Amino acid sequence: MGFTHETLPQRVRFAAGEADAAVREEVELLGARRAMVIASPRGTEVARAVTAGIEVAVLHDGVREHVPLEIAEAARAVAAEHDVDVVVSVGGGSATGLGKAVALTTGLPLVAVPTTYAGSEATDVWGLTTDGTKTTGTDRRVLPRSVVYDAALTRDLPAGLTTTSGLNALAHAVDALWAPRADPINAALAGEGVRALAVALPAVLDAPHDLTARERVLYGTYLASAAFASSGSGLHHKICHVLGGRFDLPHAATHAIVLPHVLALNAPHAPAADRRLAEAFGSTSAVLGLADLYDRLDAPRSLAELGLRDDQVAEAAAAILPSVPPSNPAPVDLGVLEVLLRSALHG
């Protein structure tokens, strides 16, 4: 073996039904006294409950998907105005993303309390959107110092969002197998993450009050995201970042729809990854295993249903092409991207 693996420094707590106590303890460990709490308008009630044990200087609900730059700058101004010394994000990937945007320029520590399966909480990846272009980067300042996973906070997640958010988590694991810094440790984390998600996602939909199944989805989400954070962003995420930033498509659903098409492109050129995924799915091949899971989840299949138009495919492909990672197993050119996108467009 010859590789270099880096594990990101982060505390991770699983505390079903105990998020408020866990957040209080994590903030105390940081020595922080004045918190800026970030949550979406729909998530403020949960955020207040989760942060009841700490001093909240301000609760900021100016959250938008894909973190437009003006939204990030407004949140940074709020943090400065209230002289906060810690940021606590409560919610999905958009809330975590805005918390990261504040941490990026202020250096404030971030504590993340996920209520979906976005996985952003386990990575040092930030993203900002300006004039339809989503820019991403990595910076240790945005890595949450602590993550508090409380499965009880996902009980109100609608079935549709449970599916798309969970498949977004799955996409982190799949992408990690052929991303620029893929290595055997990332592959092991990704494989176990897929195995957990493939079993637990259908179980959550079948029994929405099964807290054990929800905990297992969060476990799979964390493993997949940790693998992704170490391996870097592969073709799947490059495609979805362009689609989200340029055409304002919903993040989780876009990832869910694009994933089978990227897997079908790459799996024949990556036999080791194909075998690992097939085993994790309990199938004879990665593509068949994923297709079976999508059938069980009644997952969305069409980008057209999200608002993408056929006349936008060429523009999207041209925007994606410069960011295609050299590590991608299958050769990729403009024609390949257009075929893939049209296939995802029509489902």
What pLDDT does residue 245 have?
Answer: 87
Instruction: Answer whether residue 66 shows pLDDT above 90.
Output: no
Q: Long-range pairs for 336-342 at CB < 8 Å and ≥24 separation? A: 336/265, 337/239, 338/313, 338/314, 340/239, 340/261, 340/262, 340/265, 341/239, 341/303, 341/313, 341/316, 341/317, 342/310, 342/313
Instruction: Answer whether residue 196 shows pLDDT above 90.
Output: yes
Instruction: Answer whether residue 135 shows pLDDT above 90.
Output: no
Instruction: Answer whether residue 3 shows pLDDT above 90.
Output: no
Sign of CA pseudo-dihedral 313, 66, 293, 295: negative
Q: Where in the chain is the domain with CATH 3.40.50.1970?
A: 11-154
Q: What is the mean pLDDT of residues 291-315?
A: 97
What pLDDT does residue 134 have?
Answer: 83
What pLDDT does residue 185 have?
Answer: 96
pTM, 2 dp: 0.93
CATH class for the region spanning 11-154: alpha beta
Q: What is the mean pLDDT of residues 269-280?
A: 97
Instruction: Answer whether residue 2 shows pLDDT above 90.
Output: no
pLDDT in tens, 233-253: 999 999 999 999 899 999 999
Give 3-state DSSP helix, strand, coil % of the chain, rounded to 5: 60, 10, 30
Instruction: Answer whether residue 331 shows pLDDT above 90.
Output: yes
Q: Are residues 11 and 62 in contact, defined by beta-carbon separation less than 8 angstroms?
A: no
Superfamily of domain 159-346: Dehydroquinate synthase-like - alpha domain (1.20.1090.10)
What pLDDT does residue 142 have?
Answer: 97
What pLDDT does residue 93 have?
Answer: 92
Return the residue matching tokens 């973190």.
67
pLDDT in tens, 25-39: 999 999 999 999 999
> Mean pLDDT for the chain?
96
Q: Where in the chain is the domain with CATH 1.20.1090.10?
A: 159-346
Q: What is the mean pLDDT of residues 328-346?
A: 97
Q: What is the mean pLDDT of residues 184-198?
A: 97
What pLDDT does residue 65 have?
Answer: 85
